[in-house]
Amino acid sequence: MTNNHKEQRLDICRELLRRSKSSQGSRAYRQGRGDCLGYDVTYLDSIVTGDETWLHHCTPETKQDSMTWKHPSSPVAKKFKVMWSAKKIIGTVFWDSRGVLLFETLQPEETINAARYCQTLDKLREAIRRKRPGQLTNGVILQHDNATPHTARVTQGWLEKYGWEILPHPPHSLDLAPSDYHLFGPLKHELAGKRFDDDEELVDHVQKWLKNLDGSFFREGIYSMVWRWQKCVDRLGC
C-alpha cells in the first residue's frame, strides 16, 4: 500500500465519520463487534451498498469447510478434490441495513458497461420504491466501488438526475466495502462443495439463501462500517 493510498483512505474515513456523527436526539445502536453510539443510525440506514461476484456451478470447499470430526480409530475418509467449475455467472447484489433490495445475474460474456449499469440502477430504484416506501424522498446514499462503469459520465448523470448521494470509497479497499467484508464470504461458504446442473438451479439456491438471512445480519454489515472507518483512522490509513 503506497503512502498516497494510505492518505486517501485516511482522508475519506475521517470524512465519513464526520458525516455519520449523530445530532442530538439521534438513535444509537450497539453491536457485539464495536458500536455506533454517537453515530446517526438514520444516516446509516440510508446507505445502499452493491457489488458483483462470480457464482460458479461448482465451488470447492476450503480446508476449513471440509474438516469433519472423527474418532481417532475411524478410518481416513476418502475425499475427491473438487475444482472450480468453468461454468459461472456474475451475481450482483444490492442491500441495506434491512435486507436485500436487488439480486440479478449476468452471463460471463455480457459486458457491464455504464449503460448496462444504469439499467441496473433503474431496477434498484424501483426496488427501493417498492420495498422502502419514502426512502427515495428522504434520500439514498449509494456505496459502490470505483469501477469504470460506476464512475462513467453517463452513470454520474443518472445519479445527479435522481439526487443520489455517493458514499466516497478509496480505491482497493475491500475492507471498507460491506459486500466484500460481510456478504460474499458467507455466500461462498454456503456454496462450497455444492454442484448445480444449470444457472437456474444456482440462482434459485442463492435467492433462497439471501431471503433466509436474518435481518440482524444486514444491520451488522452496514453498521460495522463505522468501526471500520474508525479503525482505518486509528491506523493512519492502514
Query: How confident is the model at residue 83, as a pLDDT?
Result: 56
Nearest to 99 by CA among 207, 225, 226: 207
In angstroms, rounded to a whole number, what is the distance separating the alpha carbons of residues 232 and 238?
A: 6
Task: Measure the CA–CA gap between 115 and 232, rounded to whole angstroms.
Answer: 34
d(CA 28, CA 190) in angstroms, rounded, equals 32
Cα–Cα distance for residue pair 40/37, rounded to 1 Å: 8
Please give the CATH superfamily to which domain 45-61+81-218 belongs.
Answer: Ribonuclease H-like superfamily/Ribonuclease H (3.30.420.10)
Which of 200, 209, 207 lies closest to 87 in space, CA to CA?
Answer: 200
- What are the pLDDT tens digits along the chain (238 aa)? 899 999 999 999 999 999 998 654 445 455 544 456 668 889 999 999 999 999 999 988 765 544 444 444 555 444 444 555 679 999 999 999 999 999 999 998 888 999 999 999 999 999 999 999 999 999 999 999 999 999 999 999 999 999 999 999 999 899 999 999 999 999 999 999 999 999 999 999 999 999 999 999 999 999 999 999 999 999 999 9
Q: What is the pTM of this model?
A: 0.87
Are the beta carbons of 2 and 10 closer than 8 angstroms?
no
Which residue's C-alpha cell is 453515530?
39
229: left (phi over 0), alpha (psi -120 to 50) or beta: alpha
First-to-last alpha carbon distance for the chain, in angstroms, is 8
Residue spans per domain, the chain = 45-61+81-218
- Angle between the N-to-C axes of helices 3-20 and 225-234, in degrees from 0 to 180, rounded to the nearest 10: 130
| DSSP symbols for 150-211 | HHSHHHHHHHHHHTPEEPP--TT-GGG-HIIIIIHHHHHHHHBT-B-SSHHHHHHHHHHHHH
